[in-house]
Chain A
Amino acid sequence: MAADLSAVPSLSDFLAEPIARRALLACVMIGFANGFVSAFVVLRRSALKVGTLSHSLLPGIALVVLIAGVTNWSLLAGSVFAALFVGLGSVFLSRTSRLDQDTSMGILYTTGFAAGLIILQRLNLRQKLDEWLFGSIVGMADTDLWIAFGISLVAVVTLVVLQRPLLIYMFEPNVAASLGVPVRLLNYATFGVVILVLVSSLQAVGCILSVGLLITPAATVYLLTNEAKWLFIGGGILGAVGSVLAFLLQYPLGWSVSGAIVVVQGIFFLTAYVFSPRYGLFAKREVQV
């Protein structure tokens, strides 16, 4: 085989690189965790809120970087900070003015996002800014991988442990308490889980596209099943498989990784939307008795 240094290495050569294998591993973990949690987001009907939340991570990260500089923990610390700010801030704003919470959140997150952009730009962190906006799964170090693993584990285990009360909470959030569900505890726990997986998807696809990975997988399964349990498991599998597939595709095609990940999920969804035997466009609906 003649060595031609100018040629792009083949896919198999690329996959032999440690950096590519790390990225693949990250795709599996982050894809699964996000897909798994997406079942909660879909069933709790909180897609819009999660979208808001994902954008508000940026200013939190910017503030943490401003104070402590860039570290391995900037993402995590900044995100938790941002989530608290937006969560509490919107409640405070809506309680103390006549605005409802959605409006308050809309104002808070766009203002915060804009401020975050300015801070990161002023700190001369263009490179980092791009990574946080659009993801940097190929550039993940071992520490990042461990953080992603920890986050995925905590998120999945938490939802598995809470599955029984969670089912009632998702089905009847307003009356769950009458069946003995500790509603407030679940509120906090699930908010925490969503924040955690958002942080991991920030790494994979960036904060602008993170919602795609945190909604679409379970939405796809929603069109295929009548059991909430399969929304979680199926969402996780779709998230992982789709992300790996996207990673393998993006290299020969020369696409952006984050773009490919979200587009593949979108294609999965469209396929189910059209061809689902039960709830697809061409499906025969069950006749009401």
Chain B
Amino acid sequence: MVKSELLHEAHDHAHDHVCWGGGHAHAHHHRLEVSDLCVSYNEVRALEHISFATECGRSIALVGPNGAGKSTLLKCLAGLIVPDSGNIIWRGQRLTRSSHEIAYLPQRGDVNWNFPITVRGLVEMGRFPNLGWWRRFSDHDETMVKRALEAMDLMDLQDRQISALSGGQQQRVFLARALAQEAHVLLLDEPYTGLDKPSQEVLAGLFRELTKEGRLLIASHHDLQTVADIFDDVLMLRRTQIVFGSTEEVFTAANIDAAYGANIPTGLEDRF
């Protein structure tokens, strides 16, 4: 399969993980550590005391009811929201603003699909953080864009305007931009929303390949049925952190109840 060959071509160190692109081969796995993160949004506490640590090569589902803080956490990791307190450590350094090694993929509803831009144009945007304001597109940049388009199977669609695509294709365009950006960490806000079954399966396959290559994938996800099939780890949220761990261990009925509040005291008991 041409696609996976391309994806794995950069593996020259057998035991190493490679986020392909700038030929980054790392002796150590990249670690992302979040400690005691508290975030307010419009003066309302959205997240409290979130702590977890993970590394490249994993995929994490953020699970929890609406308003649990999933999007807030993603935006915070992307450097779009400044936390009240706590630390985000990426590769041993404190993350104070956005890094081009971290790519954020917005929710479908937040994208202006009528914007006059083609698939290729959007993927080329991924090179901008590396290029700065003026540097010309080099051969390397061209190659990166081409590889990203090929990996996401978008070569035939590259001249399409982005609204003339299916939901699955649209999701792949943003993934391709993250690849062109040479991002190590991919933050996705509800990537499965609005996708039909076949597109969901394609996306799940892509997720597996991306993590196998050594990328860290963190996605908010509301479909509890598919969490275990797609993700290695789960972070359950309900403003505070319910639990974090591998899907097998922590994605249990008891924890889901705790996150969604089925058996949680509502405070009403006292009144009656």
Are A177 and B80 in contact, CB atoms less than 8 angstroms apart? yes
Question: Any chain B CB within 8 A of the CB of A72?
Answer: no
* Contact assessment for A175 and B131 in the assembled complex, using a CB-CB cutoff below 8 Å: no
B-chain residues with CB within 8 Å of residue A174 when the two chains form the complex: 80, 106, 110
Interchain CB contact (< 8 A) of B103 among A162, A178, A231: A178
Asked whether any CB of chain B lies closer than 8 Å to the CB of A142, the reply is: no
| B193 contacts A by Cβ under 8 Å | no
Q: From A162, A171, A227, give the contact of B118 (CB < 8 A).
A: A227
A162 touches B133 (CB 8 A): yes
Q: Are B129 and A43 within 8 A (Cβ)?
A: no
Query: Contacts A178-B103, A227-B118 hold; do A289 and B128 have CB atoms under 8 A apart?
Result: no
- Distance of B224 from chain A, by nearest CB (Å): 27
- Given A164-B128, A227-B118, A227-B121, decide whether A179 and B112 contact each other with a Cβ distance below 8 A: no
Interface residues of B (CB under 8 A from A): 75, 78-80, 97-98, 100, 102-104, 106, 110-112, 115-118, 121-122, 125-126, 128-129, 131-134, 160-161, 164-166, 169, 181
Choose from A180, A231, A288, A289 the contact partner of B98 (Cβ within 8 Å): A180
| A residues near B115, Cβ cutoff 8 Å | 43, 170-171, 228
In Å, the complex CA distance between A115 and B253 comes to 66
Do B133 and A226 have beta carbons less than 8 Å apart?
no
| Interface contact A172-B106, CB-CB below 8 Å | yes
Are B116 and A226 interface neighbours, CB within 8 A? yes
Give A173's nearest chain B residue, CB to CB: B112
Verify A286–B104 contact, CB threshold 8 A: no
The number of residues on chain A lying at the interface, defined by a beta carbon within 8 Å of a beta carbon of chain B, is 26
List 8 A-B residue pairs with CB atoms under 8 Å apart, sorted by A's residue number: A178-B79, A178-B98, A222-B116, A225-B116, A226-B161, A227-B117, A289-B164, A289-B165
Q: Which residues does chain A contribute within 8 Å of B79, judged by CB atoms?
A: 177-178
Tell me whether A165 is interfacial, beta carbon within 8 Å. yes
Closest 6 CB pairs of A and B: A178-B104, A180-B129, A226-B161, A178-B78, A286-B164, A178-B98
CA distance A162 to B132 in the complex (A): 10
Q: CB distance B131 to A164 under 8 Å? A: yes
Q: Is the CB–CB distance between A179 and B98 below 8 Å?
A: yes
Known: A178-B80, A227-B121. 8 other contacts (CB 8 A): A168-B125, A170-B115, A177-B97, A180-B128, A228-B116, A228-B117, A230-B116, A286-B161
- Once A174-B110, A180-B98, A180-B128 are accepted as A-B contacts, the answer to whether A289 and B166 lie under 8 Å apart by CB is yes
* B118 near A226: Cβ-Cβ < 8 Å: yes
The residues of A that contact B112 with a CB separation of less than 8 Å are: 171-172
Chain B: CB-nearest residue to A39: B116
Residue of B whose beta carbon sits closest to that of A163: B133
Indicate whether A161 reaches chain B with its CB closer than 8 angstroms: yes
Determine which residue in B100, B111, B117 has the highest number of CB atoms from chain A within 10 A of its CB, and name it. Answer: B117
Chain A hits for B165, CB < 8 A: 288-289
Q: How far is the CA of A179 from the CA of B79 in the complex (A)?
A: 10
Interface residue from A165, A171, A179, A222 paired with B117 (Cβ < 8 Å)? A171
A167–B102 Cα distance when bound, in Å, is 20
Q: Which of A261-280 contact B (CB under 8 A)?
A: none
Question: Is there an interface contact between B133 and A161, defined as CB atoms closer than 8 Å?
Answer: yes
Q: How far is the CA of A178 from the CA of B76 in the complex (A)?
A: 10
Instruction: Determine if A175 and B117 form an interchain contact, defined as CB atoms under 8 angstroms apart.
Output: no
Which residues on A sit within 8 Å (CB–CB) of B111?
A: 172
Q: Are A289 and B116 in contact (CB under 8 A)?
A: no
Residue of A175, A225, A228, A289 with most partner-chain B CB within 10 A: A175
Q: Distance (Å) between the CB of A78 and the closest chain B CB? A: 33
**Contact, CB under 8 Å: B169 / A289:** yes
Q: Is the CB of B106 within 8 A of A175?
A: yes
A226 shortest CB reach to chain B, Å = 4
Q: Are B102 and A178 in contact (CB under 8 A)?
A: yes
Write out the residue numbers on chain A whose beta carbons fall within 8 Å of the beta carbon of B122: 171
Bitwise interface map of A from 157 to 201 toward B, beta carbon under 8 Å scored 1, else 0: 000011011011011101101111000000000000000000000
Q: How far is the CB of B132 from chain A (nearest CB, A)?
A: 8
A180 to B106, CA, bound (A): 15
* Cross-chain contact A179 with B110 (CB below 8 angstroms): no
Which residues of the other chain, B, contact A167 by a CB distance below 8 angstroms? 117, 125, 128
Complex Cα gap A78–B122 (Å): 40
B98 touches A168 (CB 8 A): no
CA distance A167 to B131 in the complex (A): 14
Give CA–CA (A175, B97) in the complex, Å: 12
Q: Please report the C-alpha to C-alpha distance between residue A231 and residue B118 in the assembled complex, in whole angstroms.
A: 14
Is there contact, CB below 8 Å, between A231 and B116?
yes
User: Min CB distance, A46 to chain B, in Å?
Assistant: 13
Contact check, A164 vs B133: say whether CB atoms are below 8 A apart.
yes
Residue of A nearest to B98 (CB): A178
Q: Report chain B residues within 8 Å CB of A226.
A: 116-118, 161
B128 touches A168 (CB 8 A): yes
When distances are taken between beta carbons in the complex, the residues of chain A under 8 Å from B118 are: 226-227
Interface string of A18-53 (1 = CB under 8 A from B): 000000000000000000000000010000000000
